[in-house]
Structure 1
C-alpha cells in the first residue's frame, strides 16, 4: 500500500491520451450497437408502464399509515423502509423502455430531494398522475404542445396561490410539528429536531449519526460547516448517503491551488504513516494531483477527500484561518515561505469526524485550542463593530456563527441495525423538511394545500381547448396526494376528496392517523411550502417532457451464445443453444469508470518503467564514480611513468623534449571529463534518448573513453595550456561545491547522532564522538606547533596555526549558542578536525627547501599523501551525489526544490557530469600543484607555495561558510521583525 502511493501518481498527458483512446473505443461500440426504436402511442405506453409500476411501489409509503417496503440487497439482510426515494432508487426493470420511464421518475424524486430534502413520494405520485392523463389526452388527439402550455400555466397559478397562503414558522412547537409529520408521525423525532434547532439556531449545522444506545440522543459539539463539497464523487465512502465520512482525520489547509504530484505523494505518505484518513482543503486541487488522490483511494484504500476552500479573495483566506483555528492546523501559505515540500505532521489539523457531501462539509469536534478559538471569535466581533460595510458585516457575522455556533449531532438509536437504518431515513427526511419549512414557511399538510389550490384553476382562462385540458390534468393531479393518503389508511379516497372540496375552510383536512376531519394547522399537520412547491414543479416538468415524447431509442441487449451440450448417445440431437441476455449500458458514469480503469493500468505500467529507469540511473552514479577513480589513477600514472613506459612508440619521440608535451604536467591536463556533460546537460525526461545514454551502453562508453583519451594526446600543446588556465578556475569552483557538500554532511551527521532532547545529549554517542574529534583537533594543533613552528623564523606557519586555533574557538562558542538552530558540539568537532587537516595539508605543501617544513614530500609515498588523495575522492563523490535524491542531507541551501513530475529524471545528469568535470580539473591542479610550469616529483601531490595558499584560503573559506550557516538565520531574523506587522483585522481582510 505504501509503495502504491508513489507508483500510481498520475500525469495529465497520460490522462488526456487515455481519455481520447477510451472515449473513441466506447463511442465506436455505441455506434455499432443495434438500436430498438419505438414511436408514438406504443412508446408512450411502454414508458407509462414503467412509471406506473414504480409509482405503485412508492405510493404505499405515503401518509401516517403508509406501508413498509422490503428491498432485497446484494449483501446483508433485506432493507425495510418507508422512505419513498429509497424505494425508487432500488427499482430497475429488465425492459429497456420501461426502465426509461422509471429512470425519469427517479430523476424527479432525486431532484426534489436535492432541493427540498423531502417530498419524494409526493413528487412521484404527482408525476404518475400528470403523465397518465397526458398520455390519454394525446391518444385522444390533443395537441401535445398545447397540453404542455396548459400544464405550465396551471402550475404557475398553483404555486402563486400556495405562496400567498404560506405561514412562516418561528416557535419550537411549530418546528416540532413539521418534523413529526415528515417523520411519519413520530413525535419523538420532531421534538428532537426542534430542540437541535433551538440549540444551534435555525441556520446552525445539524448532522445525523448512528447511536450506540436504544434511544435517540442530541449532542452539541464544536464544529463548522463549510459551504463546499467534495471535488470528485470518487471520494464518496458511503454510497447510500452519497457522502464521504472520515473518522479522526488529518486536515491539510492550503491557501493556493495544489498541482504538485510529488508534494501530494508526500502528504499521502504522512497520512499512511499515521494510518489516518486525510482531508485536503485548498483553493483547488488540479488534475494531476487530483488523479493521484483518486487512484490512491481506489487502489490503495486510503480514505481521502479534497474540498475547495469556501469564499473568494480575502474572504477565502479568512475562512481558512477560521478552520485552522478550529482544528489546530497551520495554513500553508506562500506568503510565509511555506510549501508542501517541507510539510510535517505538526502542520495538520485534527477533529473527531468530517462529513462531506456534494454541497457542503461538516467538521465535528475540532482539536483547536479553545482559547485560540475564543480569541478568534473576539477578533471577528471587533471587526463587525468596526466595519462600515453591510456586506462585510454580513460575511463577518456568518463567519462568527460558523466558528462559535457549534454543531448539533442527532444520534439515532435502536434495537437492531435495520431499525436504526429505517429511523435514520425518516429523521433525514424530517430534518430536511423542517429546514425547508423554516426557509419558506408552511401550508396545511396531508395534501390539502394542493387540493384547495385546485379550486383556483376553475376560473383560469386559456387560449384554446387543448390548453384547457392541460389545466384540467393538473387540477385532477392535485387531488391524488389526499386520495393516496386516505387509501393507505384504509378508507375510500374519492369520498374524502369530494367531502373536502365541498368545504370553505382552507385549513380543514383529513387526519389519516386518527380517521377524522380536523383543522390541519391546529392539529399540527403541516407541510413545508418548499417541499410541496418543488414536488409539483419537478413533477410537471418531467411529465410534460414525457407527454410530448414521440420516439424512444434504446439499445438491443447483446446475446452471448453458450455452446450446446450434446446428449450422450443421442446422435444429432444437440440441446438447443442457451442464451444469456446482458444489457449493454454505456452512460457517462460507465465512460468514467472505463476511462479510470484504463488510466490506472497505463499509469501502473508507466510507473513500473519509471521506477526501473530511476533505479538504473541512480546505480549509474556508482559506476561513474569508479570510472572517475580509475581515470585519475591513470592521470597520476601518465604524469610519473607513462613517458618511460611508452618510450618505444614513434609518436613519443616527437612529443617535446623527454615527452614533456604529452606527459608530466601537460599529460595530466590531457585527461579530462567533459563529453558526458555536453551529451546530457539538457536531459529532462526518463523516456528521452539521453537518459538511456546516461544509464546504459557501458561497453560503448568504455571504448569511447579510451578513444577520447588517446585522441587527446594528439591535441597541440597550445590548446592544452589554454585548458590548463580554464582548469584553475574550474578547480576553484569545485572547491566551493566541495565545502558546501562537506558542511551539509557534517550538519546532517550532527542531527542524526545528537538527540533533540538536551537532557539526553550528555550520554549520547554523538557527545562521545564530539570529544574524540576535539581531542584529535587539539593534538593536531600541538603537533603542528612542535614540528612546523619551532622557531621564531617560522612566522608564517605560526600565523597559519594560530589563526586556525582562533577559528576553532569561535566555531565551538558559536555552535553552543542558544539561538543557533543547528547547534551542537559534534558538528563543530568534525569541522574543527577538517580545518586542522586543511591547515596541516597546507603547511606540508610548502616547498622542500623551506626550513620550517620538518617533513616535506620527498618523492616517496606516505600516509598523508594517500589520505589527501582519498579525501579528495570522497569530496568528489559527496559533491556529485548531492545532485541526486538519496538523502535530504545532501541538498544545497541555494538549490531550490522544484515541482517534479513522475517521468522527470531523478537528478540533473548535466550537473552531475559537470561536477565530475570540475573534479577532474581539481585533480589536475593537485597533480601539477596549481602551476602549469611545475615539475612535480613522483608520488607527490599538491606541493608548492601555490598549493599552500590555495589550501589555506580553502580552510578560511570553509570556516566562514560554516559560521555563516550557524549565525545566518540569527542575522536575518531582525530584518523580519523590523517590518511593520499587520493587525489581526488586516490579516483577515
Structure 2
C-alpha cells in the first residue's frame, strides 16, 4: 500500500501485504460465506446426506452434524471463519440448529449480493436486515406453542435425532434423554455437564442404557478390594493418601541403620493414620482425586473398602451431585456428615472397558448414559445425536416453548415479513423482503435433500400457510402436513438463536469494505470473479 507524493511513493504497509477495497472485498467475503453454506447445505433435514472427513493423520469422521463438519474442516478464510463461529455459538447456546444457522447466513449474503448489484448501499441492507430480524423474532414468538409435558419432550428429542445415525433407535434413545433431563433438572435449570455420556464399542445402539447414578471409566485401585459394595457410604477426597513430598529441596543425613528404619516406620505410620481417618468416618467406598500409596491400598483392601484413585475432577463433581457427598480437601476434616450414599457400588466390564458403577442413588442430580455402537464412527455419530437431543430437550424444559418443524416457522415468518415490508418506505423495504426470501432456503433445502421439487414444494407451503401457521414439509411422504399434529416439534430457542446469529453474522460481513491481509493471504483471480472454490484466501479446496 503506497501513497504518491510527487514522484516518490510512500510505503505505509510492509511489502507483500495485500489489500482488497470496496466491492472487491465485499464480493470476496460474500462468496466465501456462500461456499461454506453450500458445503453443509446437503446435510440438512431427515434425508440429509453425510460427509466423510479425513484429517492429516488418516482419522475418519462420518457425520451430518453441521458444527462437527465445520470444526473438522481446515478453514483459513476470515469471512468463512465467522460462519464457523455462528455454528459454534448455536451449538453452545442450544445444541442443535447449526446447519440451519449457517445456510440462512449464506442465503442472506446471496440476497445482499443481488441488492448490492442493484446499487443499494450496504448500510441500507444492514439496517433492513436488522429490522427484519427484530420483526422475525416477534412473529416467531406469536406462533410458538407453550408446552413442556413428557410427550412434547419425547417428540422434540425424536425430531432432533431424525436423520442422524441414531434414527433407527430414536424412540428408546429419546426415552433415555428425557429421563436424564427430568432427573437432573434443578428448579427449572439444567446443567448439561451433569449428564455424562460413556461411549463403548460393541453391541448395538439398542443396548444403550441410563445409569441411576454415575459410571466412571476406572476399575478398583487394587484387585484385593471387594468387587461389589452394598449400602455404600461414599467418601470423596481431593487429598492424596500418600506421604507428601517437600516443596523445597532438602537432604536428610542418616548416620545409623536404625534411623533409616525409624524413618520408614514413620512414613508407614502417617499412611496408617490417614487410612484410619477414612475407616473412622464409616466410609466403605473411597473416590480420591489424587494418588493413593500402595501401602494405603493394602490397608484399605484389608478393611474391605472399595477405592478408586486419580478420578477426574468432572467425575468428582458429578459424584457430589449424585450421592450427596461433600468433596473433602483435607483428610483431617473428613467426618460421617461428609459421606454420600448409594444402594450399590460395583465393578463391571463392558466389551473391553472396565467401569465402576455407583447406582441406586436416592435423588441423583447427575447421572451417566452408556452408549453402544458397532464401530467407533457409529458410536461417535450416536453420541453427537444424543448431545443434540440433550440440548433441545433442555431448552424446551427451561423455556417451555416449542415451534413446528419441517420448515413451517420459516415459511410463516417469510409470509408475514413480506407483508411487513410493504409498510416500510425507502430502500430498507428491499432488504426486509430479501430477508424474508432468504428464510425460505430452509424448506427449499429440505425438499431438495429429499429429492422433491423445491419450487412446487414452496408454492404448496405458501398456499397451506393461508390456513395454518403449522404447515410444514413431511419429507418421508413428500406432502405438506400439519407438523403440530404430526408431532414434529423443535424448541423455540433453536429457531430464535439461528435467525439472530445468521442476521448478525451477515451484517458483520456486509459492513466490511476494506480488507488488509498480511503476506501469504492470497485470493485467486478466478474466485474474485465469482467462480469456484480454489484459492479461497488460504482455504484449501474442499
TM over 0.5: yes
Which residue is equivalent to 1:141? Answer: 119
Which residue is equivalent to 1:210? Answer: 199
For CA contacts below 8 A with separation 6 or more, give which structure has more relative contact order.
2
Q: TM-score, normalised by structure 1?
A: 0.38
Q: Alpha-carbon deviations, 1:692-734, whole Å to 9, x = none?
A: xxxxxxxxxxxxxxxxxxxxxxxxxxxxxxxxxxxxxxxxxxx
Q: For 1:252 and 1:81, how far apart are their aligned partners in 2?
A: 40
Change (3 A) 1:154 1:501: same
Picking from 503, 511, 515, the partner of 1:540 is 503
**C-alpha deviation, 1:324, in angstroms:** 10
Q: For 1:101 and 1:194, how far apart are their aligned partners in 2?
A: 40
Q: For 2:197 and 2:162, how far apart are their aligned partners in 1?
A: 18
Q: Alpha-carbon deviations, 1:534-562, whole Å to 9, x = none?
A: 11100100101111111122222299xxx
Change (3 A) 1:123 1:327: same
**C-alpha deviation, 1:79, in angstroms:** 1.9
Picking from 246, 264, 271, the partner of 2:291 is 271
Q: What are the equivalent positions in structure 2 for 1:39-188 lying under 5 Å apart? A: 39-93=21-75, 99-185=77-163, 186=167, 188=169
The answer on whether the counterparts of 2:162 and 2:170 sit within 8 Å (CA) in structure 1 is no
Q: For 1:511 and 1:324, how far apart are their aligned partners in 2?
A: 41
Q: For 2:197 and 2:448, how far apart are their aligned partners in 1?
A: 32
Q: For 1:74 and 1:349, how far apart are their aligned partners in 2?
A: 47
Task: Report SS of the residue matched to 1:74.
Answer: coil
Counterpart check, 1:502 vs 2:450 = no
Q: Alpha-carbon deviations, 1:635-678, whole Å to 9, x = none?
A: xxxxxxxxxxxxxxxxxxxxxxxxxxxxxxxxxxxxxxxxxxxx
Task: Report SS of the residue matched to 2:55.
Answer: coil
Task: Report SS of the residue matched to 2:73.
Answer: coil
Counterpart check, 1:413 vs 2:372 = yes
Change (3 A) 1:201 1:324: closer
Change (3 A) 1:305 1:132: farther
Change (3 A) 1:366 1:214: closer
Counterpart check, 1:330 vs 2:328 = yes
Q: For 2:358 and 2:109, how far apart are their aligned partners in 1?
A: 50
The answer on whether the counterparts of 1:134 and 1:147 sit within 8 Å (CA) in structure 2 is yes
Change (3 A) 1:77 1:467: same
The answer on whether the counterparts of 1:202 and 1:438 sit within 8 Å (CA) in structure 2 is no
Task: Report SS of the residue matched to 2:484.
Answer: coil
Q: What are the equivalent positions in structure 2 for 1:15-26 lying under 5 Å apart? A: none
Q: What are the equivalent positions in structure 2 for 1:296-695 lying under 5 Å apart? A: 326=324, 329-332=327-330, 404-440=363-399, 441-460=401-420, 464-503=425-464, 504=466, 505-557=468-520
Q: For 2:441 and 2:144, how far apart are their aligned partners in 1?
A: 21
Question: Structure 1 regions of 5+ residues with no counterpart?
Answer: 1-30, 225-244, 255-259, 275-301, 311-318, 340-345, 354-363, 375-403, 560-580, 586-989
**C-alpha deviation, 1:210, in angstroms:** 1.3
The answer on whether the counterparts of 2:322 and 2:367 sit within 8 Å (CA) in structure 1 is no
Change (3 A) 1:131 1:251: farther
Q: CA RMSD of the aligned region, Å?
A: 4.2
Task: Report SS of the residue matched to 1:498.
Answer: helix
Which residue is equivalent to 2:179? Answer: 198
Q: For 2:56 and 2:236, how far apart are their aligned partners in 1?
A: 35
Change (3 A) 1:365 1:332: farther
Change (3 A) 1:214 1:149: same
Which residue is equivalent to 1:220? Answer: 211
**C-alpha deviation, 1:348, in angstroms:** 13
The answer on whether the counterparts of 2:183 and 2:364 sit within 8 Å (CA) in structure 1 is no
The answer on whether the counterparts of 2:290 and 2:311 sit within 8 Å (CA) in structure 1 is no
Task: Report SS of the residue matched to 2:205.
Answer: coil
**C-alpha deviation, 1:304, in angstroms:** 8.4
Q: What are the equivalent positions in structure 2 for 1:1-40 lying under 5 Å apart? A: 34-40=16-22
Q: TM-score, normalised by structure 2?
A: 0.66
Q: For 1:325 and 1:68, how far apart are their aligned partners in 2?
A: 41
Change (3 A) 1:271 1:92: same
The answer on whether the counterparts of 2:204 and 2:374 sit within 8 Å (CA) in structure 1 is yes
Q: For 1:165 and 1:546, how far apart are their aligned partners in 2?
A: 30
Q: For 2:510 and 2:108, how far apart are their aligned partners in 1?
A: 9
Q: For 1:422 and 1:324, how far apart are their aligned partners in 2?
A: 27
Q: For 1:447 and 1:65, how far apart are their aligned partners in 2?
A: 14
The answer on whether the counterparts of 1:161 and 1:453 sit within 8 Å (CA) in structure 2 is yes
Task: Report SS of the residue matched to 1:460.
Answer: helix
The answer on whether the counterparts of 1:57 and 1:87 sit within 8 Å (CA) in structure 2 is no
The answer on whether the counterparts of 2:212 and 2:364 sit within 8 Å (CA) in structure 1 is no
Change (3 A) 1:480 1:584: closer
The answer on whether the counterparts of 1:108 and 1:539 sit within 8 Å (CA) in structure 2 is yes
The answer on whether the counterparts of 1:172 and 1:198 sit within 8 Å (CA) in structure 2 is no
Change (3 A) 1:35 1:523: same
The answer on whether the counterparts of 2:324 and 2:340 sit within 8 Å (CA) in structure 1 is no
- Comparing 532-541 with 428-437, greater Cα deviation is found at 428-437
Change (3 A) 1:203 1:449: farther
Q: For 1:558 and 1:45, how far apart are their aligned partners in 2?
A: 16
The answer on whether the counterparts of 1:175 and 1:194 sit within 8 Å (CA) in structure 2 is no
Task: Report SS of the residue matched to 2:146.
Answer: coil
The answer on whether the counterparts of 1:324 and 1:330 sit within 8 Å (CA) in structure 2 is no
Change (3 A) 1:195 1:270: closer
Task: Report SS of the residue matched to 2:382.
Answer: helix
Task: Report SS of the residue matched to 2:147.
Answer: coil
Q: What are the equivalent positions in structure 2 for 1:621-770 lying under 5 Å apart? A: none
Question: Structure 2 regions of 5+ residues with no counterpart?
Answer: 1-12, 186-193, 222-234, 240-244, 249-287, 295-308, 348-355, 523-534
Higher strand share: 2
**C-alpha deviation, 1:165, in angstroms:** 1.6
Change (3 A) 1:509 1:584: closer
Change (3 A) 1:173 1:515: same
**C-alpha deviation, 1:492, in angstroms:** 1.5
